[in-house]
Amino acid sequence: MYNKLTIFFWLVSYFCLSSWLYAETTPPRSGTHLVQIEDGWVRAVPPQLTLTAAYMQLKNLTDQKLTLVGASTLIFTKVEMHQTVFEDNMARMVPVEKLVIAPQEIVMFKPKGLHFMLIDRQQPLTVGDTVTLTLQFEENKTQTIKLEVKEDNGKDSDHSH
């Protein structure tokens, strides 16, 4: 009897301890909560246009830096990160290969600034539809997020300073 109880005790301890150790030592797992997305949206464009942009507020929830290297979706063949810049009054889009996000840092993807370019649409999209985007980080970390297709109400562009 005593023996059985001891074994039980050890087994329980083992499981508790191992799961605790596991949780402590494993890095944040993919697909879960690396980042928090707020105000995520995809710009609604005329039906025949095959490309558009996606915007969001992205917060690094982890206590380590995250390096965003790109994104993908089934709805567009290509996704690129761009930064719109104004040089000599010229509007240019500069590709962003990597984006380092410090722990707890919030990065804004917004009109006239940093954005995800969604290229070569594969199926029709209308206002209210959802675009599932998989964010890719260094070290093979990923997180899938959902963005709603919305009309630009112009609000984002006005208080951008």
Partner 1 sequence: MKFKVIIFGLVLGLILIGISYTLWPVLVKTKQLTDFKLTQHQGSAFTLAHLKGKWSFIFFGYTHCPDICPVTLTLLREVKQKLAPYPKYLADTQYIFISVDGQRDTPEKLAEYVNYFDPQFIGASGTEPQINVLTRQLGIVYIRQPEVTTGQYFIDHSATIVLINPQGEIAAQFRAPHTVATIVERYTKIRQPEPVKESS
Taking CB under 8 A as the criterion, which residues in 125-154 touch partner 1? 152-154
112 binds, among Cu ion, partner 1, none (CB under 5 to 8 A by kind): partner 1
| Neighbour-count burial of 68, counting CB atoms closer than 10 A to its CB (0-12 exposed, 13-18 middle, 19+ buried) | buried
Which of 63, 49, 58, 27 is CA-nearest to residue 141?
27
Give the one residue of 43, 59, 82, 150 binding Cu ion; rule: CB under 5 A: 82
Cβ distance 130 to 75 under 8 Å?
no
Binding of residue 69 to partner 1 (CB under 8 A): no
Give the one residue of 45, 69, 96, 99 binding partner 1; rule: CB under 8 A: 45
Pairing of strands 35-43, 141-150: parallel
| Residue located via tokens 């083992």 | 14
Comparing CB distances to Cu ion, the nearer of 30 and 110 is 110
Residue type for position 138: E
Give the one residue of 93, 100, 102, 127 binding Cu ion; rule: CB under 5 A: 93
Q: Which residues bind partner 1 (CB under 8 A)?
A: 43, 45-49, 51-53, 77-78, 80, 82, 84, 86, 89-93, 111-112, 115, 117-120, 152-154, 157-158, 160
